[in-house]
Structure 1
Amino acid sequence: MQKFTARDEQLLQLKETLQNPITLLNDNNYSATLLEASQLLVTSARCCIVVATNTGSDTLQSITNLYKGMAALKRLKKYFLKEHPGTGATLIGIYPSLEYPACVYELNTSADRYVAGNVLPYTGSPLAKAIKHLIRRLLGVSPAVGGLGLALYRN
């Protein structure tokens, strides 16, 4: 019988939504994340590396988490595409959080534009809207997302 950890229980809805095995990005140990994702690719031919970006009410920390998460996932994507031929990789956005994903979508696609225009919150002052738009243009993802992911699959 499979033993569930607290992390698995927290991400159960996301796992069911993605229908892929999930591993959390470990900020302190990228090699552990690489090893776990590589093993999942071998055993199930697909997996998803996720990172929480919007973890609290501190806006500056959320933007920092968004930047670090996006940079790390792009590095991992480049690594897997280079080191594992025949592997596909897609960046995904998760809204509003990893624990309760209401919307999971592929970044830089028409789905991304639809979600940004119709699903993600777009309230606040004109200055706040301009700042969110600037962050979206710089990082390639809306600061309203609660998590990012890298979906990996073998062809």
Structure 2
Amino acid sequence: MIAVVRTRTLRALRTGLSEAETEAAAARAEGEQHRKEAALATDSAIRAETALEELRAALARTTADAARLEGELEILRAQSLLDTEDRQALRTLLRVTRKQNGRAERVYVLFHRGELHSVHATAEAAESAAEAEGAPRSGWTAHTPGAALPPACEVLWRVQPLPLGNAR
């Protein structure tokens, strides 16, 4: 069977085919561009999610550090208040001692675990007071003036001489 097609119709069909092929190529190029953009968007989303996880972990660490530092600050504030109270008590005891013994050059301060316990006119009186509180009768050592003291927390009982007034 032979079909007769007019030249004009054939030309129109060929033109339509050419236009359809051009549109298909443009659509393929646009689809490829959309795929590339989707891949870029996916990569960006993954990077953003990773960065968000890292930021959350950093926030958790920072929050924990802040809580720890707040606790330390409270402890230091309490210690500062205790130190201030100890200094005031020491000043009061020194005033009383000065009034009682105007000629004394020094007093002997008894510390228990680094905290002020009492003030005495002689080293023997300070040691006796410590022994009355349960300190062992042996093991007392003399402190050399100018030498470094061991940390107060390491010494259960300590007698320390302190000069009074202008005494050196």
One fold, TM greater than 0.5?
no
Band of TM-score, shorter chain: under 0.3
More RCO (CA 8 Å, sep 6+): 1
TM-score by length of 1: 0.24
Which structure's CA Rg is the greater one? 2
Query: Hey, which of these two has a bigger chunk of strand by percent?
Result: 1
